[in-house]
Amino acid sequence: MIVAEQKPLEEIKELLGDAEKVLVLGCGTCVTVCFAGGAREAAIMASSLRMASKIDGVQRIINDMTVQRQCEWEYLDQVADEIRDADVVLSLGCGVGVQAIVERFPEAWVVPGLNTTFMGMPVEQGVWVERCAGCGDCILGLTGGICPIARCSKQLLNGPCGGSQDGKCEVDPSIDCAWQLIYDRLKSKGKLDLMLKIQPPKNWQKARHGGPRRIVREDIRLHLEEE
Amino acid sequence: MADNEYTVGSKLERILKAGHFAVTGELGPPQSADGDVIRKKAQLLKGACDAVNITDNQTAIVRMSSIASAAILVQEGLEPIMQMTCRDRNRLAIQSDLLGAYALGIRNLLALTGDHQTFGNHPTAKNVFDMDSVQLIQMVTAMRDEKMFQCGDPIKGQEPRFFVGGAAAPFADPIDFRPYRLAKKVEAGVQFIQTQLIYDIEGFKKYMEKVRELGLHEKVYILAGVGPLKSPGMARYMRDNVPGLRVPDYIVDRMTAAGKPWAGKKKDEMTKEERKARSQAWRAEGIKICIELIQQLREIEGVAGVHIMAIEWEEAVRPIAEGAGLLPRPEV
Ligand code: SF4
Ligand code: SF4
């Protein structure tokens, strides 16, 4: 899932400017699961902002709603009137959600309430970790299912670097060294030969470095047209 | 390594191929645009070693570029080993720098992954890591031997020719994999290796045993890294906080014992002279330990030389090399 966390209230207040009507829009998918922008968080955000407005002496009407997924227009259409009616939409969706609203409702002014951070998962209550960087050319098959692009601080393909110590990455003791994990796993599976082979430089064109990416599936497109 | 043909013919390559025990030093460029800093440090190292590493934004702190500093060293009549990390440059920038470096007379290259930028003075920077050190070694070697850019295009005209080095961290984890990581670099084309600082001789012997078992010592020249300690505090810090380093307790104890006449005195209770005398005593012991380490390393089969790292203490290199019986350096 996409993992995000809320921006500080001060920054959000700044982003709202002098808007009188604010719609706090939550999203019912990834950011609900990571407790950053679901219905509950949207309601709490709305009441915090109401309180802040009172303290700051600002006249402001703040509503909150939540759609199942901000990243699909059909769900956004269900709250079209509320979006159009607001001076500012404070999206508690991920960055995709913010942009989906902007694209669907060009007349609306939309600001982000979250910092969208990574694709990952929870490993314990209240702890989420990054697992995939969407590099466009998955090499998990070579690394025993542990991603060195998202999880090695230097994105090394022929690691480990000299900074690996006691299973931790030189960058921070809270980071597991991805290459130690890969080594342990390949060893336990009797597949260390995978690590002995030199991996050539990666084709980063398939990652973000070839410009914004898109996927076109002609099979699905044609199928739709035939219907 | 039996053939006497040089790939590049740098002094370092000639020394190693002639079977001499090589000595390399290290010079950290200034955090300024003052080329005289390099010239002054060069004088301290001249004649004390065969070639000098020029660090590349070491510990991710902005310094004069390794290529410019190395070019100044060439002008001063010393042979540089230009360090090149993968942190700050992508494959385009690396290759163009290699072309330039060769044109400026630089003949040795040390290919490194590079410290992460969080350690340095620009922790908010975007890093590159387009390639890693193994891939970098492979690319530099192919540019030289196949006259080919990384993309596969031929190099028309003069190709950059470097005697290619790499690093090894024998005590970093996973420790069992370290000799194999070296093997990967050898397969990629590395010709010489400079190791991380060695203080734990017994541990290093075990590493070298495995290296010999894999036959790597016959395919690559291994220069063991050494460095003089300046104080017991530095020894303890390195023992406890630097990944990939092992400093045995006896070394920390020796450094502590060297400051015994001043034991129990806090820094602010001491006169300037006392502080100076203590620092000198520590440093003398640091140099002594370093010399002893070199003598022990020299006995290990497969160790082809030493790499003396005395950054910001370049004066120490000459007495160390002298004390270890490595001066004068042979002419080749
Ligand atoms: S290799 Fe690429 S696609 Fe696969 S998990 Fe890592 S970042 Fe994601
Ligand atoms: S210590 Fe491990 S995770 Fe960190 S940069 Fe090095 S190889 Fe990657």
Assess if residue B4 is contained within a domain.
no
Asked if the Cβ–Cβ distance from A158 to B134 is below 8 Å, we say: yes
Assess if residue B252 is contained within a domain.
no
Which spans in A106-190 are helix H? 148-151, 178-188
Residue by residue, DSSP assigns B242-260 as -TT----HHHHHHHHHHTG
Per-residue pLDDT reduced to its tens digit, A179-217: 999 999 999 999 999 999 999 999 999 998 889 999 999
Q: Which domain holds residue B122?
A: 11-228+297-323
Tokens representing A72 are 């699909």
Give the orientation angle of helix B91-103 with respect to helix B66-75, to 10 degrees: 10
Assess if residue B290 is contained within a domain.
no
What letter does residue B179 receive in the DSSP assignment?
Answer: H
Residue of B nearest to A207 (CA): B130
Q: Give yes or no for a cis peptide into A8 (omega within 30° of 0).
A: no
User: Average pLDDT, stretch A146-161?
Assistant: 97
Tokens representing B57 are 């934004």
Q: Give the per-residue pLDDT at A202.
A: 97
Assess if residue B106 is contained within a domain.
yes
Give the binding-site residues of ligand 1, using a 6 Å CB cut-off.
Answer: A 132-135, 138-140, 147, 149-150
State in Å: Cα B136 to ligand 2 middle: 17
Rounded to whole angstroms, how far apart are CA atoms A145 and A148? Answer: 9
Q: Is B94 exposed, middle or buried (0-12, 13-18, 19+ CB in 10 A)?
A: buried
**CA angle, corner A78, sides to A74 and A81, nearest 5?**
125
CATH number of residue B150's parent domain: 3.20.20.220
Assess if residue B197 is contained within a domain.
yes
Per-residue pLDDT reduced to its tens digit, A90-99: 999 999 999 9
Rounded to whole angstroms, how far apart are CA atoms B93 and B78? Answer: 25
The closest ligand to the CA of A134 turns out to be: 1
Stated as kind and residue range, the H or E segment containing B98 is helix B91-103
**Residues of chain A positioned with their CB less than 8 A from the CB of B116:** 153-154, 163, 170-171
Residue B1 has pLDDT above 60, yes or no: no
Q: Give the per-residue pLDDT at B266.
A: 84
Q: Are B107 and B79 in contact (CB under 8 A)?
A: yes
A220 pLDDT band (50/70/90 cuts)?
Answer: confident
Domains and CATH numbers, chain A: 2-118 (3.40.50.2300), 134-210 (no CATH)
This complex has an ipTM of 0.94
Question: What single letter denotes the amino acid at residue B198?
Answer: I
Rounded to whole angstroms, how far apart are CA atoms A223 and B6? Answer: 64
Rounded to whole angstroms, how far apart are CA atoms B55 and B57? Answer: 6
**Interacting residues of B215 by C-beta distance below 8 A, sequence separation 6+:** none
% chain A with pLDDT above 70: 98
Assess if residue B152 is contained within a domain.
yes
Per-residue pLDDT reduced to its tens digit, B263-279: 888 888 899 999 999 99
Per-residue pLDDT reduced to its tens digit, A39-72: 999 999 999 999 999 999 999 999 999 999 999 9
Let me know how many helices (H) and strands (E) chain B has, helices first: 11, 8
Mean pLDDT across chain A: 96
Residue of B nearest to A179 (CA): B174
Domain total of chain B: 1
Stated as kind and residue range, the H or E segment containing A52 is helix A39-56
State in Å: Cα B26 to ligand 2 middle: 25
Asked if the Cβ–Cβ distance from A201 to B131 is below 8 Å, we say: yes
What letter does residue B120 receive in the DSSP assignment?
Answer: S
Q: Are A188 and B141 in contact (CB under 8 A)?
A: no
A225 pLDDT band (50/70/90 cuts)?
Answer: low
- Give which of B135, B140, B242 to mutate to test A binding, by max A Cβ within 10 Å: B135
Residue of B nearest to A193 (CA): B180
Assess if residue B142 is contained within a domain.
yes
User: Average pLDDT, stretch B223-245?
Assistant: 95
- Residue B76 pairs in a beta bridge with none
- Whole-model pTM? 0.94
Per-residue pLDDT reduced to its tens digit, B181-197: 999 999 999 999 999 99
* Biggest CA pair distance of chain B: 67
Rounded to whole angstroms, how far apart are CA atoms B27 and B41? Answer: 7
B174 lies within 8 A of chain A by CB? yes
Per-residue pLDDT reduced to its tens digit, B271-304: 999 999 999 999 999 999 999 999 999 999 999 9
State in Å: Cα A202 to ligand 1 middle: 12
Assess if residue B245 is contained within a domain.
no
Asked if the Cβ–Cβ distance from A158 to B116 is below 8 Å, we say: no
What letter does residue A128 receive in the DSSP assignment?
Answer: E
> Going by CA atoms, what residue is nearest to atom 4 of ligand 2?
A169
Task: Quote the radius of gyration of chain A (alpha carbons, Å).
Answer: 22
What strand order describes the sheet that includes A21-27? A61-67, A21-27, A88-91, A110-112
- Min Cα separation B284/chain A (Å): 29
**Interacting residues of A74 by C-beta distance below 8 A, sequence separation 6+:** none
Residue B2 has pLDDT above 50, yes or no: no
Residue from A127, A165, A4, A125 nearest B172 by CA: A165
Report the residue from A153, A165, A199 with minimal CB separation from B116: A153
**Interacting residues of A2 by C-beta distance below 8 A, sequence separation 6+:** A30, A31, A34, A94, A96, A116, A118, A119
B183 lies within 8 A of chain A by CB? yes
B275 lies within 8 A of chain A by CB? no
Ligand 2 nearest atom to the CA of residue A154, by list position: 5
Mean pLDDT across chain B: 96
Residue B43 has pLDDT above 90, yes or no: yes
